[in-house]
């Protein structure tokens, strides 16, 4: 399938002050679009979008997507939801509401405007997979009553809503499943493995590994992820997804820790803790569909991406802005 060329549009990014959202806003503004960034700042930060604050094509609005929003836009990217276990387990009921009510409100807005809408879903819909690597056709292995269910099942329900709006209302939808993404502007206290390891290494603190470190992840640098997201939004209408967007190169958690130590020159030692409930033992995307349908695949290897991310955190931890 071909990727459609874009004209200048007015685009809503829900969750636009977050890690991924801020990179998306910046990319869209650079491509000549008007961007309305909406965020309630639960995990997003104004500092992430400060560099665009006075840009003529950028607008920032404080709003919670669990409440309806009435604006005029051509496209909607729905990224609004805390994405790390530390944050989404802090208020699990609100996390579910953000995924479900937020999806309903964004879909309702898209229906009224006849706007195209993209849902930032997650590899967590696969749960602790029994199929490896994970294809979009795999239905997953999710614990619906566990500690992670507020996020996993919330995102699964959001996907259901998107496809029901597609079938019932002929809404133009895009659903992408994001695999572990990292890069500058990650929150230093979000509990995700890359940010955890880098912060601990830069402080020469023990690096905490949950389990024995043999569980695997596939890490995608943020620039690659944003490129895939925009390609999906700009693809033909019959390319609805879901589409896996991630880096298929697989690493163990211990390998990641050792690479972070080497790149930072840290004196940190590895310490091991009990693996949390329902933590997936393996995660690797099959990106055949993205390659064929979007002409997309990641280009930034882990060492290059980690080096850029380490540089970001090194400056952040030394700055007056760090809290």
- 54 occurs within a structural domain: yes
Write the pLDDT tens digit of every residue in 21-68.
Answer: 999 999 999 999 999 999 999 999 999 999 998 899 999 999 999 999
For the record, the structure tokens of 98 come out as: 């953000």
Alpha-carbon span 217 to 192, nearest angstrom = 12
Q: In what order do the strands lie in the sheet with 243-245?
A: 58-62, 34-39, 10-14, 75-78, 116-122, 173-178, 243-245
Q: Can you give the pLDDT at residue 3?
A: 47
Alpha-carbon span 276 to 306, nearest angstrom = 25
- 163 occurs within a structural domain: yes
- 100 occurs within a structural domain: yes
Alpha-carbon span 139 to 136, nearest angstrom = 8
CB-count burial class (<10 Å; 0-12, 13-18, 19+) for 255: middle
- 321 occurs within a structural domain: no
Spatial contact of 235 and 295, defined as CB atoms under 8 Å apart:
no
CB-count burial class (<10 Å; 0-12, 13-18, 19+) for 53: exposed
State the average pLDDT over residues 211-239: 96
Write the pLDDT tens digit of every residue in 69-119.
Answer: 999 999 999 999 987 677 778 889 999 999 999 999 999 999 999 999 999
Range of the domain at 262: 10-316
DSSP string, 211-230: TTS--EEE-EEHHHHHHHHH
Catalytic residues: 151
Residue 2: name the closest of 298, 232, 170 by CA. Answer: 232
State the average pLDDT over residues 168-183: 97
- 5 occurs within a structural domain: no
Alpha-carbon span 206 to 228, nearest angstrom = 35
Spatial contact of 80 and 98, defined as CB atoms under 8 Å apart:
yes
Range scoring the smallest mean pLDDT among 154-158, 165-169, 174-178, 192-196:
192-196
Range scoring the smallest mean pLDDT among 32-36, 190-194, 234-238, 302-306:
190-194
- Look at the chain and count its residues: 323
CB-count burial class (<10 Å; 0-12, 13-18, 19+) for 27: middle
Alpha-carbon span 112 to 72, nearest angstrom = 10
CATH number of the domain that 225 lies in?
A: 3.40.50.720
Mean pLDDT computed over every residue of the chain = 93
Name the pTM for this structure.
0.93
- 4 occurs within a structural domain: no
- 165 occurs within a structural domain: yes
Spatial contact of 268 and 33, defined as CB atoms under 8 Å apart:
no
Q: Is 210 helix (H, G, I), strand (E, B) or coil?
A: strand
Would you tell me the crossing angle of helices 253-264 and 193-202 to the nearest 10 degrees? 30
Alpha-carbon span 5 to 141, nearest angstrom = 38
55 CA to centre of own chain: 25
Residue 237: name the closest of 126, 75, 103, 109 by CA. Answer: 75
- 248 occurs within a structural domain: yes
Count: domains in the chain = 1
């Amino acid at each position: 399938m071909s990727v459609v060329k874009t004209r200048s549009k007015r685009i809503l990014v829900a969750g636009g002050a977050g890690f991924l959202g801020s990179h998306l806003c910046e990319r869209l503004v650079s491509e000549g679009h008007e961007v309305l960034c909406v965020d309630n700042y639960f995990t997003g930060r104004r500092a992430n979008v400060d560099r665009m604050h006075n840009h003529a094509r950028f607008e920032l609005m404080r709003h919670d997507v669990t409440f309806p929003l009435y604006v005029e836009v051509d496209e909607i990217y729905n990224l609004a939801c805390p994405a790390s276990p530390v944050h989404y387990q802090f208020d699990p009921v609100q996390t579910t509401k953000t995924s479900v009510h937020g999806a309903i409100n964004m879909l309702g807005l898209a229906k009224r405007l006849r706007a195209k809408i993209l849902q930032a879903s997650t590899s967590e819909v696969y749960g602790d997979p029994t199929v490896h690597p994970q294809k979009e056709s795999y239905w997953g292995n999710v614990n619906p009553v566990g500690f992670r269910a507020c996020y996993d099942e919330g995102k699964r329900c959001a996907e259901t809503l998107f496809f029901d709006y597609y079938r019932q209302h002929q809404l133009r939808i895009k659903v992408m499943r994001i695999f572990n993404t990292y890069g500058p502007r990650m929150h230093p206290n979000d509990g995700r493995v890359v940010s955890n390891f880098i912060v601990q290494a830069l402080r020469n603190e023990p690096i905490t590994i949950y389990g024995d470190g043999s569980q695997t992840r596939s890490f995608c640098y943020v620039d690659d992820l944003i490129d895939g997201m925009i390609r999906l939004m700009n693809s033909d209408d019959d390319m609805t997804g879901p589409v896996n967007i991630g880096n298929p190169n697989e690493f163990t958690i211990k390998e990641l820790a050792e690479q972070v130590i080497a790149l930072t020159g840290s004196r940190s030692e590895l310490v091991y803790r009990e693996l949390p409930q329902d933590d997936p033992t393996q995660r690797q995307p099959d990106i055949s569909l993205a390659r064929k349908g979007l002409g997309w695949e990641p280009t930034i290897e882990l060492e290059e991406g980690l080096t850029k991310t380490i540089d970001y955190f090194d400056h952040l931890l030394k700055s007056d802005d760090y809290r």
